[in-house]
Chain A
Amino acid sequence: DAGVIQSPRHEVTEMGQEVTLRCKPISGHDYLFWYRQTMMRGLELLIYFNNNVPIDDSGMPEDRFSAKMPNASFSTLKIQPSEPRDSAVYFCASSFAGYEQYFGPGTRLTVT
């Protein structure tokens, strides 16, 4: 298995632009998680899905952030409009039955 796949690996954008991060979970996994990692706040859970349904989005910082999972093999995290404080590394992770989460390589987002 190729593991969790994320794209792009790096994204540089200007403040106010829309940013879309993509994730392909490991085949057969029924949970998908989006995390954000910064030096100041560490690794934070933003939202997670079970069987493509959002279960808990309490970690989503504000309405500028949205996430979707249209099918079992694809998820997106969108930021619109982006702000400099959104700069971070965003990780997607997947798991079977919710435990032993496997993380992707991350997307490093820089908003100027």
Chain B
Amino acid sequence: GESVGLHLPTLSVQEGDNSIINCAYSNSASDYFIWYKQESGKGPQFIIDIRSNMDKRQGQRVTVLLNKTVKHLSLQIAATQPGDSAVYFCAEDIQGAQKLVFGQGTRLTINP
């Protein structure tokens, strides 16, 4: 079946560097994508979303890029801080039905 996946399960970056977390999706009908951050012992926390009619959206220190041609989604975190350590999930909304399909997650660790 179609699913959302991640290229890398773990990512380690130096504090202050930029982080890029990638995600591949396979459902061409998906029109809404979301990034969530999950800290240990907590529920996923919404970071940023993007609709399929956009290719880029920026938030505070975060940018999401969408490439529909290759079905690729990425999350860029600028000036990574220790508080950014978490597991990051991408999710796609299957056909606008409010049914989110989550990827496996990427664990981001920050080196001092």
Say yes or no: is A14 at the interface (Cβ < 8 Å to chain B). no
Q: Is the CB of B44 within 8 A of A42?
A: no
B20 / chain A contacts, CB cutoff of 8 Å: none
Q: Is the CB of B99 within 8 A of A91?
A: no
Q: Is the CB of B49 within 8 A of A45?
A: no
- B98 shortest CB reach to chain A, Å: 4
Q: Is the CB of A43 within 8 A of B49?
A: no
B98 / chain A contacts, CB cutoff of 8 Å: 31, 33, 48, 50, 55, 95, 98-99
Q: Is the CB of B89 within 8 A of A43?
A: yes
- A24 shortest CB reach to chain B, Å: 14
Q: Is the CB of B32 within 8 A of A105?
A: no
Q: Is the CB of B100 within 8 A of A45?
A: yes
A68-112 Cβ-contact flags toward B at 8 Å (1 or 0): 000000000000000000000001010100111111111000000
Which bracket fits the contact residues of B? 20 to 34
User: Which B residues from 7 to 24 make CB contacts under 8 A with A?
Assistant: none
Known: A56-B99, A100-B49. A93 touches B43 (CB 8 A): yes
User: Which B residues from 65 to 112 make CB contacts under 8 A with A?
Assistant: 89, 93, 97-105
Pick from B34, B44, B97, B105: contact of A56, CB below 8 A: B97
B103 / chain A contacts, CB cutoff of 8 Å: 42
Q: Is the CB of B43 within 8 A of A42?
A: no
Q: Is the CB of A42 within 8 A of B102?
A: yes
Q: Is the CB of A91 within 8 A of B46?
A: no
Determine the residue in chain B with the shortest Cβ distance to A56.
B99
Bound Cα distance from A95 to B46, whole angstroms: 11
A32-57 Cβ-contact flags toward B at 8 Å (1 or 0): 01000000001111001010000110
Instruction: Give the 3 A-B CB pairs with smallest separation, nearest first.
Output: A103-B43, A98-B98, A43-B102
Interface set of A (CB-CB < 8 Å, partner B): 4, 31, 33, 42-45, 48, 50, 55-56, 91, 93, 95, 98-106
